[in-house]
C-alpha cells in the first residue's frame, strides 16, 4: 500500500511540474504574441543635398586586327597611351581601373550566288519554298557557315576625376589618346557615408515626430522599439556620352561645359513601437 501511495505521489508531482512548465511556456507565448501583435509603425524620410566633388567616367578602347594577338598588342599600346595621359593629368593609379576586357571574333557571312536575268542583269537566287530546295535550274549556294575574318578587343575603364575643372579637357584628351567610346559621365560625392548619416538623423526625427503626434491623437502609450528598417536611394548624376572618334571631337564640335549640379541623398526608415 505504501508503494502505491508513493507512486501516486511521484506521478502527481511529475504532473504538477509538467503543468507548471506548460503554463510558463503558454504565458511567455501570449506575452510574445502581444508584443508583436500590439505594435504600430512610423515611417520617416531624410534628405540631404550636396554638390558632387568627383566625376566618374567610363570609356572603352576598341581594337580590330586579323589575329587575336595582333588585336591585343595594338590594344595594349593604345591603353598605355591612354593611362599615361591620365597620369599626366595628375590622376592617381588608384582612380584608374580596368572594368572589363573582352576578345570577340569577327565573322563574315557569304552571300548567295547570282544568276543572269533575261536582260543580263544580276538577279538574286531564290531560296525556294520552306522545306524544299531551290529549283535545279539555279546555281547552288556557297557554304553558308560564317568565316572568322579577324578579332576585336574591347577594354573598358573607369576613372575618377577629382579636379572637376579638368573634366572637359580630360574627356577631350582621352579621345586623342586612343579611347574610341566614352559611355557615361557621372558626378558623385566622395564621402557619401557622412551625408547618409545626416539624412538618417533627419529620417529618424521625422518618424519620432509622427509617433509623438499620433500618440496624442489616439491616446495611446508607446513602449520600446521592436523593429527598425532602412532603405534609401542615392542617385549620382549621369550624362550619356556619345561615341567619340580619334579626331578628338564629339559630334564634330567642341566639348560643352558640363555643370555638376547637386546630388540628393535620401534615407527612408521605418520604426515599429510596442503599444503598452
In this structure, what CATH number is given to the domain that contains residue 173?
3.30.70.2970
Answering whether pTM is above 0.85, one says: no
Looking at residue 201, which CATH number applies to its domain? 3.30.110.170
Beta bridge partners of 48: 265
Determine how β-strand 181-188 pairs with β-strand 222-233.
unpaired
Residue 252 confidence (pLDDT): 44
Q: Which residue has the cell 535550274?
A: 137
Domain count for the chain, please give it.
Answer: 2
- Helix 68-88 with 167-177: angle, nearest 10 deg: 150
Q: Are residues 79 and 48 in the same domain?
A: no
Q: Are residues 100 and 151 in the same domain?
A: yes
Q: Are residues 235 and 202 in the same domain?
A: yes
SS3 string of 162-211? CCHHHHHHHHHHHHHHCCCEEEEEEEECCCHHHHHHHHHHHHHHHHHHHH
Q: Are residues 208 and 232 in the same domain?
A: yes
Q: Are residues 204 and 183 in the same domain?
A: no
Q: Are residues 167 and 195 in the same domain?
A: no
Q: Are residues 155 and 177 in the same domain?
A: yes
Residue 43 within a domain = yes
Structure confidence by residue, pLDDT tens digits, 62-119: 999 999 999 999 999 999 999 999 999 999 999 999 999 999 999 887 665 554 445 5
Q: Are residues 100 and 222 in the same domain?
A: no
Cell triple for residue 144?
553558308
pLDDT values of the chain reduced to their tens digit, one per residue, 276 residues = 555 555 556 655 666 656 655 555 555 554 554 445 689 999 999 999 988 889 999 999 999 999 999 999 999 999 999 999 999 999 999 999 999 999 999 988 766 555 444 555 545 555 544 445 555 554 445 556 778 899 999 999 999 999 999 998 999 999 989 999 988 888 888 888 899 999 999 999 999 999 999 888 888 889 999 999 998 766 555 554 443 443 444 444 555 567 777 888 999 999 999 998
Contacting residues for 230 by C-beta, under 8 A, at least 6 apart: 200, 203, 267, 268, 269, 270
Q: Which domain holds residue 199?
A: 38-52+191-241+263-276
Dump the DSSP string for 126-169: P--STTSPPPTTSPPPPP-S-EEEEEEEEEEEEEEES-GGGHHH
Q: Are residues 166 and 267 in the same domain?
A: no
Q: Which residue has the cell 598588342?
A: 73
Q: Are residues 78 and 176 in the same domain?
A: yes
From its phi and psi, is residue 120 left (phi > 0), alpha (psi between -120 and 50) or beta?
left
Residue 248 confidence (pLDDT): 41
Between CA 16 and CA 237 the distance in angstroms is: 70
Contacting residues for 47 by C-beta, under 8 A, at least 6 apart: 199, 202, 264, 265, 266
Q: Are residues 74 and 173 in the same domain?
A: yes
Q: Are residues 182 and 208 in the same domain?
A: no
Amino acid at each position: 500500500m505504501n508503494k502505491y501511495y508513493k507512486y501516486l505521489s511521484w506521478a502527481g508531482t511529475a504532473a504538477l511540474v509538467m503543468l507548471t512548465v506548460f503554463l510558463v511556456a503558454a504565458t511567455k507565448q501570449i506575452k510574445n504574441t502581444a508584443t508583436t501583435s500590439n505594435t504600430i509603425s512610423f515611417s520617416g524620410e531624410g534628405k540631404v543635398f550636396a554638390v558632387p566633388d568627383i566625376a566618374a567616367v567610363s570609356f572603352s578602347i576598341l581594337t580590330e586586327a586579323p589575329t587575336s594577338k595582333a588585336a591585343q598588342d595594338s590594344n595594349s599600346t593604345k591603353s598605355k597611351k591612354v593611362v599615361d595621359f591620365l597620369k599626366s593629368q595628375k590622376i592617381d593609379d588608384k582612380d584608374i581601373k580596368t572594368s572589363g576586357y573582352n576578345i570577340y571574333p569577327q565573322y563574315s557571312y557569304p552571300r548567295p550566288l547570282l544568276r543572269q536575268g533575261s536582260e543580263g542583269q544580276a538577279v538574286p537566287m531564290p531560296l525556294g519554298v520552306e522545306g524544299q530546295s531551290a529549283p535545279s535550274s539555279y546555281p547552288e549556294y556557297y557554304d553558308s557557315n560564317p568565316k572568322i575574318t579577324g578579332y576585336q578587343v574591347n577594354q573598358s575603364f573607369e576613372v575618377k576625376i577629382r579636379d572637376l575643372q579638368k573634366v572637359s579637357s580630360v574627356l577631350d584628351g582621352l579621345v586623342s589618346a586612343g579611347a574610341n567610346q566614352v559611355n557615361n559621365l557621372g558626378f558623385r560625392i566622395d564621402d557619401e557615408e557622412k551625408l547618409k548619416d545626416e539624412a538618417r538623423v533627419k529620417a529618424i526625427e521625422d518618424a519620432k515626430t509622427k509617433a509623438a503626434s499620433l500618440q496624442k491623437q489616439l491616446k495611446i502609450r508607446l513602449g520600446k522599439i521592436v523593429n527598425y528598417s532602412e532603405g534609401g536611394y542615392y542617385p549620382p548624376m549621369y550624362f550619356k556620352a556619345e561615341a567619340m572618334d580619334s579626331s578628338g571631337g564629339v559630334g564634330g564640335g567642341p566639348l560643352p561645359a558640363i555643370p555638376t549640379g547637386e546630388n540628393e541623398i535620401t534615407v527612408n526608415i521605418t520604426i515599429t513601437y510596442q503599444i503598452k
